[in-house]
Each structure stands twice: as structure tokens, then as C-alpha cells.
């Protein structure tokens, strides 16, 4: 249509779902952000309180119920869903009550124009829970999920070409008429060459799924790089034979030179080499700041010595599952997987590399624990370090078939009561010393090996105006405009 302002977003994989309670992959999460809204907005810096979006106010403490903390907030009256239905407190309560991950945190009820939250466990930053993807508020009508965000799915939208059009009832009409997610699959070498070409030619206006070194190859785009919000991880499935022994896990970890992996993708490898689990933007979150080193320093001799201990059962063969495509923290899973297989081969452990082609295949394998090792990672949902730690190490974040909406990636299947108790205490007391002790213990247990940090990276074409990057890598397109 002549004069239509269409933002073309280049991605490597399809939008798997627009249900915020099921969106697990990075591309779907970006699309969800344009359609729905959470009660509070993500803050732009660690330690900053989130601003209310669907509420008139911040959370107000109420009289405790049976000893449990209770908070409430009044819903705004000027918010409409995309079919014109006014948002009510009951809509908010009903939507949150359908999110199993939210219900692990609190019960929710509506009374007149207020929403009441009764916490099931202490949480000093409960307001940040209400910024997370599974808390996006939806309203089901006519078999469709409606949102209050700036865009809504077009009738012809498909996963491979997700077209979002302007929400006519959004309170601040966006300048864009539509946003189209266009898929450019990686080539046979799992390189994003087609997407890079589309960006350079002007066929695509925006992308945030490329690595720093990839976008440095582009000539006709503006580049933004924010501090890292993600970590590539080698998970060790602690439910599998041999991998329940921390000595075997430490041996695997010590056999891998993380600096060498970072050198594969970054000229400044030291800045991206992981030395601990938390990505840089979160490791700076406390008053003292700084990363806690996990102690897993590359040492082939020490790795061999651990496996030679008389009571250690060294696994002879392991399956290494690869995530389905390039990620901000892992530009080329196949290349890193081959490196890991080679290093473990030097320990006498044969590694079978198992690639996955789609989000669905990858999720099925991870939900069933059908792997020994997994090469993947995690992108922060919030600027709270405890959220990241809980997502990667908490028992409730273990993917299983009957909990498909779990928001987390404990692919180590690390089910450890001491870890869960420590995470619960960190929720109540987010102190630097407690977090440091937790991270040191995880380095000793080594259920996973942090490999490399990713950055929040944006590439925008020359037509794009008013883009302000998000520290977590997923910007709203509500304020964008395009040169005609």
C-alpha cells in the first residue's frame, strides 16, 4: 500500500507463538512485546524501580494475610484492548491467574478497581515479577488473545511472516502502520549470510539477532551495542549416568578453554569470555558490582587427574544437544559444539553432536531430558540477578513435558534443595555476600559451564528514526518512525 510505513524486522527463526505464557524463544518474545503489555515496565538500569504501565501507582502494601505479604494497585481506566474493550482489574487478575509461572510467586484477585497480590514466598523485588513476559495481560475474545499494546496480529500473519498492524485503540498511536517479521534462515554452515545481505541492501530495517562481529561487517546500517545481557552455557544433565558426579562435571569444565571460544567470534575476546554465570549487566547490579569468578580455569592436567580418581565413573560417550540456531550469546552453535567435542575427545570421552532444526524440536528434547550435554544459554528477562540464577539453576525451571510454560532454562536438570533454599533467601535478602557465596558453590558443583557473554546488539537501517535500545535487547517499536 502506497505510503504505508512498514518496519521490516529481520530474524533467523519464525515467531513460534504470540502467547506470552508460551513464548520461550527470543524472536517470539520480541513479537509478544509489541502486542501485549505488562503491569510494570522494565527499568532501564539495574537497581531502578519499574514504572507502572497498566496501574495508576506502584504496589501498595496491605495488611498481611496469614502471615504472607499482600500488595495491591489500582488499574488505569484509560487502557483499551485492541477490540476496544476497557481494561479492568478483573482482566488483569484473570490473565495472571492463567500463568503458571506467576502462580508460583503469588495468588491474585480483583476487587472493584484494584488488583491484590498475596505472595507465596518473600520477594524483595516482586514488582519486577510483574515486568516479565508471562505477566503480559491478555483478554480472550472470539478465540483470539487480545492485548493492549501498540500492535495486533494481522489476519494474514503467519509464523514465517508475522505481520503486526497498528492497534487502533492504543492510547499513543504509533507512527508505524505495521511491523513485519521476515525470516532469513542461516545457511548450511549456520551462518546468517542472507540476513546480513538483507540488512546491507536495505531490504530489512532492523535486527537484534546478530553477533557483534557479524554487524561489524555491515556498511549501510547504524550499530548499537549495549552491555551483555546473556550468557552462552554448556549444560551438563545431572540426571544422566556419570554426570551426577561433580568431579566429572568439573573435569569437563576444566578441559574447555573459554577464551579460545570467545576468540572464534570476537577480536576483543577477553571482554566476552565468561568467568561466571551472570552476564555483565547483571554482575554489576549489586552495590559492590563485579563478576564472581567461578574458579573453572582451563587446566587439561587437572581435568585428566579428576577422571583418573579410582571411584570416578568416566562416561565413555555423551550426546551434545545444540540449540536450533544462532543466538545473541552463541553466533555459531555448530562451531562451538565441534570445539567442545574435540576437547572432550582428548579426555577419552566420545561426543555425538545432535543438532536441532526448529524451536519445537529443541524444546521437545529439553523437556524430556533427552541429552547428556546441551549447548545453549539464557538471555536475562529482568535486571534482577536472582531472576537469572533462578531461571538457570532453580528446580522449578527444569523443563518437563507437563510444564510447557515454564520460564527458565535449567537444562542441567539441577534439582538441589540447598540451591533452592539459597535462591529463596536471595529473593528475600538480595545481598552481595549471599550472591557471591551462591556463585562460588555453583562453580564447585559445576552443573553448567558459562562459556561466553553476548551483548544486546541492534542493527538499524538508515530509514529508522527514534530507536532507543533496551538493555535487555528487546525494544518496543511503539515510538519508532521511518523516513519515507
**pLDDT surpassing 50 at residue 468:** yes
Q: Across all residues in the chain, what is the average pLDDT?
A: 91
- CB atoms inside a 10 Å sphere around CB 158: 13
Total structural domains in the chain?
3
How close are the terminal C-alpha atoms of the chain, in Å? 13
Range of 81's domain? 60-142
Q: Answer yes or no: are the C-beta atoms of 323 and 376 closer than 8 Å.
A: yes
Residue 45 lies in a domain: no
Per-residue pLDDT band at 478 (split at 50, 70, 90): very high
183 with 235, same domain: the answer is no
- Confidence at residue 165, expressed as pLDDT on a 0 to 100 scale: 98
**Boundary of a domain, candidates 142, 162, 191:** 142
Helix (H) or strand (E) holding 304: helix 300-307
- CB atoms inside a 10 Å sphere around CB 440: 15
Residue 40 lies in a domain: no
Residue 48 lies in a domain: no
**pLDDT surpassing 70 at residue 405:** no
- Confidence at residue 72, expressed as pLDDT on a 0 to 100 scale: 97
74-107 confidence digits (pLDDT tens): 999 999 999 999 999 999 999 999 998 899 889 9
Q: Answer yes or no: are the C-beta atoms of 406 and 400 closer than 8 Å.
A: yes
Residue 55 lies in a domain: no
214 with 275, same domain: the answer is no
**pLDDT surpassing 80 at residue 62:** yes
**Mean pLDDT, residues 30-49 taken together:** 90
- Nine cell digits for residue 48: 531502578
**pLDDT surpassing 90 at residue 273:** yes
3-state SS, 35-58, equals HCCCCECCCCCCCCCCCECCECCC
207 with 346, same domain: the answer is no
206-256 confidence digits (pLDDT tens): 999 888 778 888 999 998 877 678 999 999 999 999 999 999 999 999 999
244 with 381, same domain: the answer is yes
CATH number of the domain where residue 98 is located: 3.90.76.10
Q: Answer yes or no: are the C-beta atoms of 377 and 359 closer than 8 Å.
A: no
**Mean pLDDT, residues 458-477 taken together:** 86
- Confidence at residue 287, expressed as pLDDT on a 0 to 100 scale: 45
**Boundary of a domain, candidates 108, 125, 142:** 142
Of all residues in the chain, the percent with pLDDT exceeding 70 is 96
- Nine cell digits for residue 149: 499494546
**pLDDT surpassing 70 at residue 481:** yes
- Confidence at residue 285, expressed as pLDDT on a 0 to 100 scale: 52
pTM of the complete model: 0.82
Question: What's the length of the chain?
Answer: 484
165 with 275, same domain: the answer is no
Amino acid at each position: 500500500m502506497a505510503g504505508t510505513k512498514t518496519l521490516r524486522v529481520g530474524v533467523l527463526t519464525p515467531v513460534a507463538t504470540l502467547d506470552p505464557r508460551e513464548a520461550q524463544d527470543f524472536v517470539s518474545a520480541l513479537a509478544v512485546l509489541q502486542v501485549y503489555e505488562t503491569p510494570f515496565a522494565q527499568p532501564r538500569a539495574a537497581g531502578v524501580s519499574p514504572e507502572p504501565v497498566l496501574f495508576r501507582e506502584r504496589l501498595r502494601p496491605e495488611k498481611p494475610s496469614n502471615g504472607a505479604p499482600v500488595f495491591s494497585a489500582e488499574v488505569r481506566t484509560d487502557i483499551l484492548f485492541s477490540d476496544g474493550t476497557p481494561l479492568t482489574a478483573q482482566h488483569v487478575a484473570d490473565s495472571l491467574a492463567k500463568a503458571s509461572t506467576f502462580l508460583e510467586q503469588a495468588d491474585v484477585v480483583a476487587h472493584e478497581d484494584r488488583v491484590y497480590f498475596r505472595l507465596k514466598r518473600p520477594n524483595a523485588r516482586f514488582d519486577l515479577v510483574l515486568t516479565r513476559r508471562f505477566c503480559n495481560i491478555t483478554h480472550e475474545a472470539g478465540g483470539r488473545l487480545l492485548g493492549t499494546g501498540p500492535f495486533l496480529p494481522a489476519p494474514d500473519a503467519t509464523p514465517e511472516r508475522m505481520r503486526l498492524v497498528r492497534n487502533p485503540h492504543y492510547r499513543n498511536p504509533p507512527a508505524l502502520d505495521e511491523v513485519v517479521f521476515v525470516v532469513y534462515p542461516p545457511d548450511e554452515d549456520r551462518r546468517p549470510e542472507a540476513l546480513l545481505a538483507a540488512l546491507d541492501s536495505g531490504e530489512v530495517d532492523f535486527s537484534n539477532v546478530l553477533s557483534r562481529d557479524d554487524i561489524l561487517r555491515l556498511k549501510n546500517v547504524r550499530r548499537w551495542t549495549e552491555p551483555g545481557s546473556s550468557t552462552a552455557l554448556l549444560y551438563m544433565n545431572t540426571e544422566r549416568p556419570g554426570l551426577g558426579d561433580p568431579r566429572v562435571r568439573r573435569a569437563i569444565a576444566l578441559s574447555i578453554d573459554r577464551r579460545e571460544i570467545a576468540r572464534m567470534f570476537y577480536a576483543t575476546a577477553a571482554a566476552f569470555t565468561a568467568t561466571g554465570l551472570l552476564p555483565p549487566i547483571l554482575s554489576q547490579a549489586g552495590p559492590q558490582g563485579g563478576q564472581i569468578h567461578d574458579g573453572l580455569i582451563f587446566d587439561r592436567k587437572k581435568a585428566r587427574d579428576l577422571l583418573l580418581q579410582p571411584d570416578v565413573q568416566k562416561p565413555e560417550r555423551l550426546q551434545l544437544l545444540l540449540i536450533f540456531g544462532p543466538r545473541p550469546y552463541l553466533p555459531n552453535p555448530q562451531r562451538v559444539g565441534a570445539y567442545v567435542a574435540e576437547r572432550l575427545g582428548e579426555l577419552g570421552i566420545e561426543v555425538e553432536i545432535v543438532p536441532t532444526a526448529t524451536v519445537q524440536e529443541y524444546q521437545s528434547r529439553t523437556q524430556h531430558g533427552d541429552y547428556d550435554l546441551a549447548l545453549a544459554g539464557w538471555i536475562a528477562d529482568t535486571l534482577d540477578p536472582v531472576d537469572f540464577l533462578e531461571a538457570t539453576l532453580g528446580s522449578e525451571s527444569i523443563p518437563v513435558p507437563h510444564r510447557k510454560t515454564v520460564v527458565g532454562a535449567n537444562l542441567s536438570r539441577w534439582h538441589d534443595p540447598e540451591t533452592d533454599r539459597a535462591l529463596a533467601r536471595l529473593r528475600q535478602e538480595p545481598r552481595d555476600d549471599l550472591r557471591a557465596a551462591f556463585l562460588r558453590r555453583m562453580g564447585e558443583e559445576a552443573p553448567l559451564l558459562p562459556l561466553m557473554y553476548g551483548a544486546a546488539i541492534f542493527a538499524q537501517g538508515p530509514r529508522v528514526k527514534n530507536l532507543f535500545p533496551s538493555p535487555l535487547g528487546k525494544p518496543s517499536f511503539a515510538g519508532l518512525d521511518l523516513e519515507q
